[in-house]
Amino acid sequence: ESVKKQEINDPSDPYAAEPTRHPALQINNLKPFNAEPPPSMLSDSYITPSAIFFKRNHLPVPKVDPESYRLEIEGLPGGVASLTLKELKSCFPKHTITATLQCAGNRRSEMNKVKQVKGLNWGIAAISNATWSGARLRDVLHYYGFGPEVASGAQHVQFEGLDKDVTGTPYGASIPLNKAMSDEGDVLLAYEMNGEDLPLDHGFPVRVVVPGVVGARNVKWLGKIVVSSEESKSHWQQNDYKGFSPGTDWDTVDFKSAPAIQELPIQSAITHPAEGTSVNLSDEEVTVKGYAWSGGGREVVRVDISIDGGNTWHVAKLRTSDDGVPPAVGRAWAWKLWEINIPLPQKPQELEIVCKAVDNSYNTQPDTVAPIWNLRGVLSNAWHRVKIKVSDDLSD
């Protein structure tokens, strides 16, 4: 039904020209389009196919003509620079990284169960992993005159999308200058996703990919870059995508008191089995699968799994990449998929399966949701818990 609505072509609807989407996606909001894949599909492949990669749009998808597309750059010597797509592709070395993107609201639905929050009710699949190719942001900024003089006055790099609200205000965000310019930061002006032109939903023709950093700063349909002494003034940078104490409510919240989310904390979740699954005693073991990832290029070094609600723990087997090559130090941009077979107890019962990950700074996930609850429902990274039933073949 939702899909049918898309097909009605009302020219006054800013969403009339949205791309068609994969039917497996679970739609959280149609306009703007927000959807996630079924968890089981997520852990089926180390690289998430673009069609089922989670989609988080804040505004209508803009139609951009690649021929007339210009990327503007402000805040460097010599005024405003303007770059064609062809120039971006041909004048700078093409760099490819594998990076996981995660929405700040991933797993928000678990916070909603504690107490209502404001935001789309994401499950555990507002996270996906892809390869991204493009020019390095630092190469482009150096080419246009970035140097010590600019560095001394600047602290942020702002991004503006070509997607706009009804008043003409574009989506916007910024990242710290040191992330943008670091040799090891791997920030890309990406024009390819999984070896093909960026799909419309993922920012065609150019998206900034900021690995290790919350999805919201990975601005799609990138129209403008501004090197600045200030953060982006956008709503999404200033008055959204920030974390607060569980005691802070909409009457008391002061958005200036918290930093904009950049790097995300350690995260993991169980993609298999699904909540409510029944397994048979005669199976003797249960296979548990999931993903784990941490922000800031911190590598996941261990995932602990429990089938007794967190009393005893087993260590899962991690899958680092398709080729098994470990990430460079400080540049673990991609998730790890994990898997483990755990012996079943010998009597019918309900099991609570739990996972928690550890990164190479030895940060770990908090046990429960309530103490990290926040009014926007972001940063939901408590232990993931899935209840299943072990039943006796005979008694079934």
388 Cβ partners below 8 Å, 6+ apart? 273, 275, 276, 277, 278, 279, 286, 350, 351, 353
Question: What is the residue type of 96?
Answer: T
DSSP bridge pairs for 82: 72
How far apart are CB 110 and Mo ion at their closest, in Å?
16
Q: Which does 315 bind (CB under 5 to 8 A by kind): a copy of itself, Mo ion, none?
A: a copy of itself
Q: Which does 313 bind (CB under 5 to 8 A by kind): a copy of itself, Mo ion, none?
A: a copy of itself
CB of 293 to a copy of itself, least distance (A): 13
What does the DSSP assignment read for 337-360?
A: EEEEEEEPPSS-EEEEEEEEEEET
Give me the residue label for tokens 């497996």: 24
Tell me the one-letter amino acid at 118.
K
Q: Is 224 in the site for a copy of itself (CB under 8 A)?
A: no
Contact with a copy of itself (CB under 8 A) among 13, 339, 366, 391: 366
Q: How far is Cα of residue 355 from the mean position of the Cα atoms in its chain?
A: 19
Strand 81-84 relative to strand 70-74, pairing? antiparallel
Choose among a copy of itself, Mo ion, none what residue 310 binds, the Cβ cut-off being 5 to 8 Å by kind.
a copy of itself
Closest distance to a copy of itself from the beta carbon of 265 (Å): 4
Q: Which is nearer to Mo ion, 81 or 99 (CB)?
A: 99
- The residue from 312, 317, 343, 387 that contacts a copy of itself (CB under 8 A) is 312
Q: Percentages helix, strand, coil for the chain, rounded to the nearest 5?
A: 15, 35, 50
Amino acid at 185: G
Q: Which C-beta is closer to a copy of itself: that of 136 or that of 356? A: 356
Nearby residues of 394 by Cβ (< 8 Å), 6 or more positions away: none
Q: Determine which helix (DSSP H) or strand (DSSP E) holds 96, and give its type and residue range.
A: strand 95-102
Measured in whole angstroms, the distance separating CA 255 from the mean position of its chain's CA atoms is 22
Indicate which of a copy of itself, Mo ion, none lies near residue 353 (CB less than 5 to 8 Å, by partner kind).
none
Q: Is 379 in the site for a copy of itself (CB under 8 A)?
A: yes
- Closer by beta carbon to a copy of itself, 21 or else 298: 298
As measured in angstroms, the least distance from the Cβ of 90 to a copy of itself is 27
Q: Does 18 bind a copy of itself (CB under 8 A)?
A: no
- Which DSSP string corresponds to 131-174? EEEEEEHHHHHHHTT--HHHHHH--EEEEEEEEE-TTSPEEEEE
Contact segment (CB under 8 A) with a copy of itself among 86-94, 129-137, 191-199, 308-316 equals 308-316
151 near a copy of itself (CB under 8 A): no
Instruction: Check binding of 302 to a copy of itself (CB under 8 A).
Output: yes
Look at the block and give the residue holding tokens 């039933």: 389
Nearer to a copy of itself, 198 or 316 (CB): 316
- Provide, rounded to whole angstroms, the least separation between the CB of residue 58 and Mo ion: 8
Number of residues that bind a copy of itself (CB under 8 A): 43
- Residue 330 in contact with a copy of itself, rule: CB under 8 A: yes
Report which secondary-structure segment, H or E, holds 85.
Answer: helix 85-91
Site residues, a copy of itself (CB under 8 A)? 155, 176, 178, 184, 243, 245-248, 258-259, 261-266, 295-296, 301-302, 304, 310, 312-315, 329-330, 356, 358, 360-368, 371-372, 379
